[in-house]
Structure 1
Amino acid sequence: MGQVTVQINDRAYTVACGDGEEAHLKELATHISAHVSELAREVGQVGESRLLLMASLLVADELFEARSRIKVLEADIEQLTQARIAALERSREAEDLLGDMLDTAARRIEDIARRIEAA
């Protein structure tokens, strides 16, 4: 099991993680630390717990916004998929209609050719 020491608000925290997850954990801690630093600049040092709580709320807000955008994108994908299916069906119908028209034209041409030969 891996272990990582991260710095948040000038304080070191040692956190256990799965082997190979160290870099990802450091990246997450850097993200949290950036929020805590920004909050500390904006509201001052209001206490470690409060800064971490506020940073957690900001990260949770980011998560909820991302989830919301994902839902919108999934709905867009579904709509585009349905439009593509409908377009393919219309294309097949048009191909069938065109095929029928060509068959009819071919029969007419053959009929005209027979009449010309018979004349």
Structure 2
Amino acid sequence: MVLIKHLPRDSALQRDLHGEAADWSVTDHLLAAAVDHLAVANWMFSCVNSGEDDETPEFPQPVPRPKPGEDEESEEDGGGPGADGSSGAASAPGGGKAPPAVSPGQLARFFG
């Protein structure tokens, strides 16, 4: 389980689980946000400095981003119910979900 959880974001398993969102790193999201902000700033500059008789330019379209899957969050933290029927939804100290506990039986099945 540890090996699978720590696969790189560009691995085939991550792409299969998360689709196009697996190809986007934090850097890609930051660059898309920077491009969007620059486009809006240029649009504002153009609106302010255009003549009064000119019509306002069209608002810029944001850079398309991958849409996260509906069940992406549950897949990232280890998936659905465990072998014992528990949901694995225990709370972490920070208020988020704690990773589900892995039983010795689950480890034995995984490693054969």
Q: Which of the five TM-score ranges fits, normalised by the shorter chain?
A: under 0.3
Tell me: higher relative CO, structure 1 or 2? Use CA pairs within 8 A at least 6 residues apart.
2
TM, length-normalised to structure 2: 0.28
Bigger Rg, structure 1 or 2: 1
**Structure with more of its chain in strand, by fraction:** 1
| TM-score, normalised by the number of residues in structure 1 | 0.26
Q: Which has the higher helix share?
A: 1
